[in-house]
Amino acid sequence: MVSYLAVLFVMFIIFMFLSNVLIHRYIQREARDGLKQQSEYLKKVVNESFFNRRKDLKNNPELAPNFRILSRIINADFIIYNKDNRIILKSSKDIDQQIIYLMSQEDKSEYITYKETVTSSNGDIMGYILLFTKLKNVQAFQQSIVGTIMISMIVAILVALLFSYFIQRSITNPIKKLKKDMSSISLDEDYTFNPITTGDEIEDLYHGFKNMVNRLKLNVDERRRFFQNASHELKTPLMSIQGYAEAIRDGVVDGYEVDDSLDIIIHQSKRLKMTVDDILYLTKLENTPENYNFETANIVVTIKKIVKEFNKIAQDKQINIELIHSSEKIISQIDVEKFRGVITNIISNALRYAEHKITIAMSSDEGMYAIHITDDGVGFSFNEENKVFERFYKGKNGNSGIGLTIAKTIVQEHGGTIRAYQNQPKGAGFEIKLPVKLS
Ligand SMILES: Nc1ncnc2c1ncn2[C@@H]1O[C@H](COP(=O)(O)OP(=O)(O)O)[C@@H](O)[C@H]1O
Ligand SMILES: [Mg+2]
């Protein structure tokens, strides 16, 4: 605010200085033009005999009327004198010989003058007409103009200041309200905002802020749920391990039961490690989405390789894995390792639930390719197909409940979609759709 005032003040001073100079010049020029015009009138009535007069003109009856009329037109002071510097006629009695001397001096700062040389028809100088007006008269006029400008400037500045004060208040008040909300908001409790209805960008800002807070709240809730679920997931196998270990130490179990208990402890430890690995992997995927290594790969070949790795387990379980693909080649840019993780998880889930058969069908068309993985197992319970991608969601026979969450994150990072559906006549189905990216 202070700097504004300083700028205004400096501008005011500069403006007043410039207008003073300009007006001064303008008025001087106008005054000189006026004098020149008036000298034209005087020139018309002077002639040779006029300059040769011996007597003061005032006392000459024949010429007097002419000049009396002229003196009504001419309002400046003037002297008419001949080449011997003798005054022939002057506008007022107070003007004396000395004034001619004064006028011919370099320093005319007290007067504005106009001097006209009068010549005869053959070019001889007969005398001079000198018109002058006191600078003081002109200055008074100038001061009154500058004074008026100054007063109107001051009034304009005051009005502008008043306006800007009110406009500023209408801007700062809602911003202050918003600032108060921002500093007192809590993400843990419900908070009622002071509504802002200014109808402009500040209101937009207010809505934007509210949206941001809501999103943050969702995020905080999700994190809280994640920690609750994660601790629950870790606690269950840990309690089991603790229980069996204590049973062995206290001699509650003996003989072959000890071996069984140890097997359970080992199994639960493995599960625990898998869950922790999954959680760490998902966290890494979510926190560093830039960590993808896209390379050109043949999807058909990649999936064939994965299926080969599952052959042994599938045979043991007497499950047949069938591959259907119309083309040997679907080339696209993928992060091969992460993509393998997606397919591996879906196939290993299917192996857990399938009765006899898993089908993997690949097709591509119009810049997209689709992979369907179906089995003939129990399929999903009511509405379960919509929940399986949620973090820690697991149904009967589930493990960590994170595998499909990881799959979805990776597929989305490839620009694709994944969904689960009921396979006909029975079992579960997963569809992955990805864009063919060539570079
Ligand atoms: N092929 C399938 N048939 C039936 N249910 C499935 C199938 N695949 C996944 N599910 C359900 O989705 C849940 C989540 O799967 P996932 O995220 O891979 O976790 P996890 O395999 O650790 O249980 C599973 O626990 C299971 O209930
Ligand atoms: Mg899984």
- Written as one string, the DSSP assignment of 375-417 is ESS----TTGGGTTTSTT---TT--SS-HHHHHHHHHHHTT-E
Residues in Cβ contact with 373 at an 8 Å cutoff, skipping those fewer than 6 apart: 343, 346, 347, 350, 358, 359, 360, 429, 430, 432
| Nearest ligand to residue 392 Cα | 1
In 3D space, the residue among 354, 336, 355 whose CA is nearest the CA of residue 346 turns out to be: 354
Compute the distance between CA of residue 369 and CA of residue 325 in angstroms, rounded to an integer: 11
Compute the distance between CA of residue 176 and CA of residue 185 in angstroms, rounded to an integer: 14
Residue 246: both structure tokens together:
């204590």
Residues β-bridged to residue 298: 331
| Residue 364 DSSP SS3 | strand
Angle, vertex CA 285, rays to CA 323 and CA 354, nearest 5: 30
Q: Tell me, in angstroms, the distance from the centre of ligand 2 to residue 215's CA.
A: 29
Cα-atom radius of gyration of the chain, to the nearest Å? 53
Compute the distance between CA of residue 395 and CA of residue 392 in angstroms, rounded to an integer: 10
Residues in Cβ contact with 43 at an 8 Å cutoff, skipping those fewer than 6 apart: 116, 118, 129
Contact between 202 and 196 under an 8 Å Cβ cutoff? The reply is yes
Per-residue pLDDT at 427: 96
Which atom of ligand 1 approaches the CA of 375 most closely?
1
Per-residue pLDDT at 334: 95
380 lines ligand 1 (CB under 6 A): yes
Whole-number Cα distances in Å, 269 to 262, 285, 383, 397: 10, 24, 32, 17
In 3D space, the residue among 423, 415, 213 whose CA is nearest the CA of residue 294 turns out to be: 415
User: What are the structural domains, with CATH classification, of the chain?
Assistant: 2-146 (3.30.450.20), 201-287 (1.10.287.130), 295-435 (3.30.565.10)
353 lines ligand 1 (CB under 6 A): yes
| Nearest ligand to residue 358 Cα | 1
Q: Whose CA is nearest to atom 13 of ligand 1?
A: 394
Strands 77-82 and 295-298: unpaired
Angle, vertex CA 256, rays to CA 254 and CA 258, nearest 5: 55
404 lines ligand 1 (CB under 6 A): yes
Which atom of ligand 1 approaches the CA of 397 most closely?
25
Q: Tell me, in angstroms, the distance from the centre of ligand 1 to residue 257's CA.
A: 31
Compute the distance between CA of residue 433 and CA of residue 344 in angstroms, rounded to an integer: 16
Flag residues of the chain having pLDDT under 70. Answer: 1, 53-73, 96-98, 100-109
Contact between 100 and 81 under an 8 Å Cβ cutoff? The reply is yes
Q: Tell me, in angstroms, the distance from the centre of ligand 1 to residue 345's CA.
A: 9
289 lines ligand 1 (CB under 6 A): no
Q: Tell me, in angstroms, the distance from the centre of ligand 1 to residue 149's CA.
A: 86
Per-residue pLDDT at 413: 94
428 lines ligand 1 (CB under 6 A): yes
399 lines ligand 1 (CB under 6 A): yes
Per-residue pLDDT at 71: 64
| Nearest ligand to residue 271 Cα | 1
351 lines ligand 1 (CB under 6 A): no
349 lines ligand 1 (CB under 6 A): yes
429 lines ligand 1 (CB under 6 A): no
Out of 348, 380, 388, mutate this one to test ligand 1's pocket (max ligand atoms within 8 Å of CB): namely: 388
Out of 273, 278, 345, 349, mutate this one to test ligand 1's pocket (max ligand atoms within 8 Å of CB): namely: 349
392 lines ligand 1 (CB under 6 A): no
398 lines ligand 1 (CB under 6 A): yes
Identify the sign of the CA torsion 67, 68, 72, 78: positive
| Nearest ligand to residue 350 Cα | 1
Per-residue pLDDT at 311: 94
| Nearest ligand to residue 408 Cα | 1
Which atom of ligand 1 approaches the CA of 404 most closely?
17
Contact between 166 and 157 under an 8 Å Cβ cutoff? The reply is no
Strands 331-334 and 295-298: antiparallel
393 lines ligand 1 (CB under 6 A): yes
